[in-house]
Structure 1
Amino acid sequence: MAAAEEFFPGIARIQYEPSAGPGDVLCFKHYNADEVLMGRTMEDWLRFSVCYWHSFCGTGADPFGFQTLHRPWNEGTPMESAKKRLHAAFEFFTKLGVKYYTFHDRDMAPEGSTLEESNKNLDEITDLALQLQNQTGVKVLWVTCNLFAHPRYMNGAATNPDCHVLAYAGAQVKKGLDVAKKLGAENFVFWGGREGFLSIHNTDVAAELNHMAAFFKMAVKYKEKIGAKFQFLIEPKPKEPCRHQYDYDAMSVIGFLKHYGLDSHFKLNIEPNHTTLAGHSYEHDIVMASAFGMLGSVDSNTGSPDLGWDTDQFPMDIRNVTMVMKTIIEQGGLQPGGLNFDAKVRRESTDLEDLFIAHVGAMDAFARGLRNAVRIIEDGIVSEMMKKRYSSFSHGFGLKVVEGSSSLEDMEAFIKQNGEPKITSGKQEKYELIFNHYI
C-alpha cells in the first residue's frame, strides 16, 4: 500500500467557522482550538483524543445483527489491514485537528498464535505508529491492554481462578507498558471488563481482590523499573460483561486503591456511560473522583438513559458536558489525561463522513460546555451562594469542626447553649434556574 493513499477523499481539514449555518456539519462552530479561556487555550483545556477501537476497528455488528460498516482499510491480510488502518487513522486525526489518540494493544496489531508472535506484530505496527506520530505531531493519550476478549480471559484476567491465565495477562501487560513508553503515552489504563463475577456460588471474592491488587503492584514495580512516567488509570464500570464488576464505580475503585495502598500510583479514567449504568447521574463519578483528587481522565461518551446497556454514543448534551467541564476547570484541568471519545457511530451511520460529523458534534458540544462553565465560574453567582450555604463552617464552632478540634461533648454543649437550629432552605430550584441561564 502506498503511504499516500487517501482514505477520506473530499474531506479537508475541519475549520472553525462560527458563522456557519445549521446544515454545515463539516466545520466547528464552537471549538476554536486557539481561543484562550481563563489563561489556557481551548485545545489545552479539552485535550481531545480519538479512540482507535470504535472509530477504526468497529464494524457496526451487534448481538442482533451483522457488520454494517465496511471500511476501505480493512482489506488484505491482518497485518496489511493493520497498516492501512494506521494510515487511515492518522489521516483522520490530522484532518480533524486533534493531538491525541488511544488504543488497545490488540486494536493496533493482530494477535498471533503465541505471545512471541503477538509481540512481534505489535513491534512492527508500533514502529510505524511512531513514524506517523513524529511526522504529524499526534501523540498517544493512553494505551491499554485487551484482557477481556480472548477465550483465555472468559473467567477474568487478574482475577482468574487459574494462575496460568493471570501470568499470561501479566506478560501481556508487560509488553503493553513497554509499548506505552516507546510511543510516549501520557497515561496507561486498566479496564477490568471481566474482573468480577457472574455467580457468587463459584467465586472467592476476597482471593480475587487480593490477586488483582498483587497484579497492580507488579505493574507499578515494572513501570518504575523501566523508568516510565505515564499516569496509571483505572476505568470503573458496574456490569457488562460481568454481572458484577469489582470496579463498580468511582467510590468502589477509590476504596480498593486505598485499602491496598495503591492510591498514590493510580487515578481514575471515568466513562459517564458507565456511571449511568451504575445508577448515578451523568457527572456523578467525575465529581466524586475529583473530590478525592483522583480524577485523571474522561472517556467522553454518553448512553441512552432508557436503556440498560453500554451504548457508547457521542456526547451531544450541552447540560451534561457543562457539568463535566465545570468540575475539570475547578480541579485545574485534566493533564496528563484528556477527553477521549470512547464512542462509536451508530451501526446505521455507514458513510465515512459520519465519523467526522460525530466527532465534530461532540467537540463542539464540549467547547460550548467549556464556555458555559467558564461563565458560571467567572460570574461567581453560584460560588457565592455555595459559600453562604456553608458559611457556618468558616468561623467559630464550625471552624473547630473543620479543623478536627471539636468533640461530641463540645457539640452537646453547643446545642444546650444555642438550642434548636433554624430551618434553612436549600434553594435547589434557584440553583437549577441559574444553571439553565448559562446553557
Structure 2
Amino acid sequence: MATPGEFFAGTPKIPYRPTAGPGEVMCFKHYNAEEVLMGKKMEDWLRFSVCYWHSFCATGADPFGFPTLHRPWNEGTPMDAAKRRLQAAFEFFTKLGVKYYTFHDRDMAPEGSTLEESNRNLDEVTDLALQLQSQTGVRVLWVTCNLFAHQRYMNGAATNPDCHVLAYAGAQVKKGLDIAKKLGAENFVFWGGREGFHSILNTDVASELKHMASFFRMAVDYKERIGLKCQFLIEPKPKEPCKHQYDYDAMSVIGFLKHYGLDRHFKLNIEPNHTTLAGHSYEHDIVMASAFGMLGSVDSNTGSPDLGWDTDQFPMDVKNTTLVMKSIVEQGGVQPGGLNFDAKVRRESTDPEDLFIAHIGAMDAFARGLRNAVHIIEEGLLAGMVKERYSSFSHGIGQKVEDGSATLEEMEAFVRQNGEPKVTSGKQEKYESIFNHYV
C-alpha cells in the first residue's frame, strides 16, 4: 500500500495566481474559490468534481491502440490497485482543491465472479473511501452503476429482452444505492449505455420503454425505503454504443419521464459532448433542461465535432462555458449537482502533471465563463432586448395567449381588426456582437 503523498510528491497544492504568465500552467489564473459573485462563492456556483474513471482508471487505450497511460496506482492485484487508486485520487483532489468526485461502482472496486463477491469488494474499498472522505472533507457528488460493460448487458440492462438480466441490473443498482447512502452521495446518476437498439427488427420498443420505467420506479421505491437523501439524475446520449438510445437528448428524456409519471423524482445530468452528438449546439440540452426545471447537474466536457464521436475532452472554450454558466446562474445554481469533469487527458498526454494541467485549464475556463455570465446578467442588456422582443405577450390578446385563455375565434377577430402583422428583424447579429463583448 502506498503512503499518502507518494503519487504526486512533486506537486504542491495548486495556488491562485491571477498575474501568472501564459506559460505558467500549474496555477489558477481565474478560479478563485472564495471570490463572491451575486452573493455566492465561486466554488459554490461551480461545484467542481473530478471523475474517477477517466482520471484514475483510464489507460489511454482506444480501438486502434494499446494503453499509453501507465499509472503507478494501477499496479498490484485488482483489490490492491483499487485501494492505491483511491489514495492517489484523494491526494489529487486535495492538491487540486476540489470538494467532489464521482464514480461507477465498478471503477471503485473490481467485479467478482458472483454478485456477492462484487458486493464484498465494493464494501471493502468504500470503507477506505469513507475514511479518506473523513480525513479530507472531499465528498461524493454522485454515484452510478456500470450497467453496460459486462457481457451480460450486451443487449441492455433495464431494457434487456431477458428479465434475468434486468433482475441482475436491479440487484446491482440496489447495492449502488446502499453505497450512495454509505458515502453520503448528493446525487445518483443513471446512464443507459446499452438502453437502445441496433435493429428495430428484433426490438419491441413499447415493452422496453415500459420495462425501463418499471426499473426506475423500483429504484425510487428502494431509495425511499432506505431513507437515501439524494437527487436522481438521468444522463442523455443519442448514440454510442447503440445505434439509437432511448435517452437521445434532454427533450426525449423529459418526455419519457413525464409520460410515465416519473418527472418529480428525476432531473437530468447533461453532458455537452453528448448534446453535440445529437446534432445540437453545445449549450442546447442545458438550456432546454433548465427551461423545464430539470437541469440537475453537468458533465463538463467537450468533443471535436469534426470527428463525430464522444471524445470526452476537457472544456477550454470560454464562449461555451459562458453559455453554460448563464443558464446555471439564471436558475440560481445547480446544487445539489455540480460541474463534473467527465473528461480524459489525451492518450498522448502521458505525464502525471497533465492531469493537473487539464483540470486547471478547464476550471479556469469555467471561472471565466461564470464571471462573463454574471456580467451579462447584472447589466441586463441582452435580457432587456429579449423581453422587448416578446413584449406583445404582456398585454391584450398576447396576455391571453400567455395565460392560456385565448381562443381561435379571438385570434381571427384580432387579425380582422389589425390586419397584416408588421415583420420585425430578429437582430441575430446584434445579439451575437453584444455577447462577444462580454467574452
Letter of the 2:164 counterpart: H
Amino acid at match of 1:17: R
- 1:406 is aligned to 406
Distance 2:399 2:275 in 1: 34
Q: What's the RMSD between the two structures over aligned residues?
A: 0.6
Structure-2 residue corresponding to 1:72 = 72
> Which residue matches 1:234?
234
The aligned counterpart of 1:372 is 372
State whether residues 4 and 91 of structure 2, in contact with CA within 8 Å, keep that contact through their aligned partners in structure 1: no
The answer to whether residue 258 in structure 2 is matched with residue 277 in structure 1 is no
Q: CA deviation at 1:404?
A: 1.4
Alpha-carbon distance between aligned partners in 2 of 1:405 and 1:272, rounded to the nearest angstrom: 37
| CA positional deviation for 1:4 | 2.7
Q: 2:92 matched to which residue of 1? A: 92
Aligned residue type for 2:325: M
Q: Distance in 1 between matches of 2:54 and 2:220?
A: 28
CA separation in 1, counterparts of 2:217 and 2:5?
Answer: 44
Give runs of aligned pairs for residues 407-426 of structure 1, distance below 5 A: 407-426=407-426
Matches within 5 A, 1:246-285: 246-285=246-285
The Cα shift of 1:401 comes to 1.0
Say which SS state the counterpart of residue 73 (structure 1) adopts.
helix
The aligned residue for residue 175 of structure 1 is 175
2:344 is the counterpart of 1:360: no
2:13 partner SS: coil
Give the equivalent residue in structure 1 for 2:165.
165
Quickly say closer, same or farther: Cα 1:422–1:430, change in 2 above 3 A: same
1:405 deviation in Å? 1.5
Contact 2:5 2:91 in 1 (8 A): no
The whole-number CA distance in structure 2 between the counterparts of 1:113 and 1:262 is 34
The runs of at least 4 aligned residues of structure 1 exceeding 4 Å deviation read none
Looking at structure 2, the residues matched to 174 and 11 of structure 1 have their Cα atoms a distance apart, in angstroms, of 39
Contact 2:2 2:84 in 1 (8 A): no
Matching residue of 1:305: 305
Partner letter of residue 398 of structure 1?
G
Distance 2:293 2:4 in 1: 45
Which deviates further from its counterpart, 389-398 or 92-101? 389-398
Counterpart residue type for residue 220 of structure 1: V
The residue that corresponds to 1:23 in the other structure is 23
Corresponding position of 2:55? 55
CA distance in 2, matches of 1:5, 1:295: 37
| 1:38 matches 2:38 | yes
Amino acid at match of 1:236: P
2:325 is aligned with 1:325:
yes
Residue 26 of structure 2 aligns to which amino acid in structure 1? L
How far apart are 1:2 and its partner, in Å? 4.2
The 2-side partners of 1:206 and 1:65 are apart by 39
Identity, in percent, stands at 85
Q: 1:9 Cα deviation (Å)?
A: 1.7
Letter in 1 for 2:346: R
Query: Residue 389 of structure 2 aligns with which residue?
Result: 389
> What residue in structure 2 maps to residue 139 of structure 1?
139
List per-residue Cα deviations over 1:58-116 (Å, max 9, x = no partner).
Answer: 00000000000000101110000000000000000000000000000000000000000
Q: What TM-score, normalized to structure 2?
A: 1.00
Tell me how far apart the structure 1 counterparts of residues 8 and 252 of structure 2 sit (CA, whole Å): 43
Residue 201 of structure 1 is matched in structure 2 by 201
SS at match of 1:298: strand
CA shift digits 1:233-292 (9 cap, x unpaired)? 000000000000000000000000000000000000000000000000000000000000
Contact 2:189–2:234, Cα closer than 8 Å, also in 1: yes
Letter of the 2:21 counterpart: G
Q: Per-residue deviation at 1:336? A: 0.3
SS in structure 2 opposite 1:337? Answer: coil
**1:383 partner letter:** A
1:155 aligns with 2:155: yes
Give CA deviations for 1:197-229 in whole Å, capped at 9, x if unaligned.
011111111010001000000000000000111
Q: Distance in 2 between matches of 1:357 and 1:6?
A: 19
How big is each residue's C-alpha offset from its partner over 1:306-340, in whole Å with a ceiling of 9 and x where there is no partner? 01110000000000010000000001100000000
> 2:143 and 2:100 mapped to 1: Cα distance?
11
SS of residue in 2 equivalent to 1:10: coil
* Residue aligned with 1:11, SS: coil
**Alpha-carbon distance in 2 for matches of 1:306, 1:269:** 24
Which AA in structure 1 matches 2:411? M
Q: Which runs of 5+ in 2 are unaligned?
A: none
Q: Is the 8 A contact 2:159 2:166 kept in 1?
A: yes
**Other structure's SS at 2:74 match:** coil
Q: How many Å separate the matches in 1 of 2:199 and 2:88?
A: 42
CA distance in 2, matches of 1:154, 1:2: 36
- Structure 1 match to 2:118: 118
Tell me the distance in 2 between the aligned counterparts of 1:146 and 1:406: 49
Equivalents in 2 of 1:4, 1:62: separation in Å?
Answer: 31
Q: Deviations over 1:124-143 (max 9, x none)?
A: 00010000000000000000
State how far apart, in whole Å, the 1-side matches of 2:150 and 2:401 are: 53
Q: CA deviation at 1:3?
A: 3.4
TM-score normalised to structure 1 length: 1.00
**What SS does structure 2 have at the residue aligned with 1:229?**
coil
Structure 2: how far apart are the matches of 1:403 and 1:185?
Answer: 40
